[in-house]
């Protein structure tokens, strides 16, 4: 697995704005969307193209086009929906596979190694039927313990997908480590890598609860 932490100045600026404790729902949504677009550009830079024939105004030419089917976007409900429009801006024809996962807040505990352990519950799955022929791009604002991302990747692999990457706005080192151990073949693209998790599994300094901020349910 490779971890790509964006060095784009706009990405760094926009993540900083997201951290403002006084941010409005509108601004949080807009920045999340803009960051998703910027990360999607980075994550799709390695898509393969091949020369294909095209009839243009001056005749038939051989011109580079995507070699394979468009990736499928995989928002993890609910916060991942906040990144959907931003990624669709780059991949407007992408099919969307949806995975519903939620953390069981009553299950939060520290394991034998002092790591935060949170049970993840799956409540919805709608993965496109030809996912084995596409790259899957998981979108979720926060990579905390890694539990949701790992569960989502397990579902995609069980459905036959072999080419997966994931986009996050903010990642904790603990989540990156867990994901690397479970799925070393999955590349991740992040806007920022933060310091650590607190004992409730929230990222520090982080953004708070990204789902609540996107949906205005604080
Ligand atoms: N989910 C969030 O929304 N924020 C965190 O810090 C961790 C998980």
Structure tokens at 11: 């990405």
pLDDT tens for each residue of 113-124: 888 889 999 999
* CB contact set of 112 (below 8 Å; sequence gap of 6+): none
Helix (H) or strand (E) holding 4: strand 3-5
Instruction: Return the number of other C-beta atoms located less than 10 Å from residue 89's C-beta.
Output: 14
- Region 190-216 average pLDDT: 97
Pocket test for ligand 1, best of 23, 108, 144, 208 (most atoms within 8 A of CB): 144
Q: Give the chain's domains with CATH numbers.
A: 3-215 (3.40.50.2020)
Cα(206) to centroid(ligand 1), Å: 7
pLDDT above 70 for 111: yes
Distance CA 70, CA 208 (A): 33
Would you give the distance in Å from CA 10 to the centre of its chain? 18
Model confidence over 25-47: pLDDT tens digits? 999 999 999 999 999 999 999 99
Alpha carbons 147 and 162: distance in angstroms, whole number: 19
Cβ(159)–Cβ(192) below 8 Å: no
Look at residue 141 in the predicted model and tell me its pLDDT. Answer: 98
The end-to-end CA distance of the chain, in Å, is 35
pLDDT at 2: 94
Pair of tokens at residue 5 = 């932490």
User: Is the CB–ligand 1 distance for residue 203 below 6 Å?
Assistant: yes
118 lines ligand 1 (CB under 6 A): no
The complex's ipTM?
0.95
Percentage of the chain lying above the pLDDT 70 cut: 100
Rounded Cα distance, 119 and 165, in Å = 23
């Amino acid at each position: 697995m490779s971890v790509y932490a964006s060095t784009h100045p706009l990405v760094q600026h926009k993540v900083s704005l997201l951290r403002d404790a006084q941010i409005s729902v509108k601004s949080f949504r807009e920045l999340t969307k803009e960051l998703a677009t910027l990360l999607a550009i980075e994550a799709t830079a390695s898509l393969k193209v091949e020369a294909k024939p095209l009839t243009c105004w001056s005749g038939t030419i051989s011109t580079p086009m995507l070699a394979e089917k468009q990736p499928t976007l995989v928002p993890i409900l609910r916060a991942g929906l906040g990144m959907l429009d931003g990624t669709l801006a780059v991949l407007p024809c992408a099919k969307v596979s949806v995975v519903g996962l939620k953390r069981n807040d009553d299950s939060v505990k520290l394991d034998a190694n002092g790591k935060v352990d949170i049970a993840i519950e799956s409540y919805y799955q709608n993965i496109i039927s030809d996912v084995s022929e596409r790259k899957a791009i998981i979108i979720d604002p926060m990579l905390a313990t890694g539990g949701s991302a790992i569960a989502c990747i397990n579902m995609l692999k069980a459905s036959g997908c072999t080419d997966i990457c994931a986009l996050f706005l903010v990642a904790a080192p603990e989540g990156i480590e867990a994901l690397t151990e479970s799925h070393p073949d999955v590349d991740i693209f992040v806007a920022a890598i933060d310091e650590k998790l607190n004992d409730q599994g929230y990222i520090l300094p982080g953004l708070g609860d990204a789902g609540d901020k996107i949906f205005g349910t604080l």
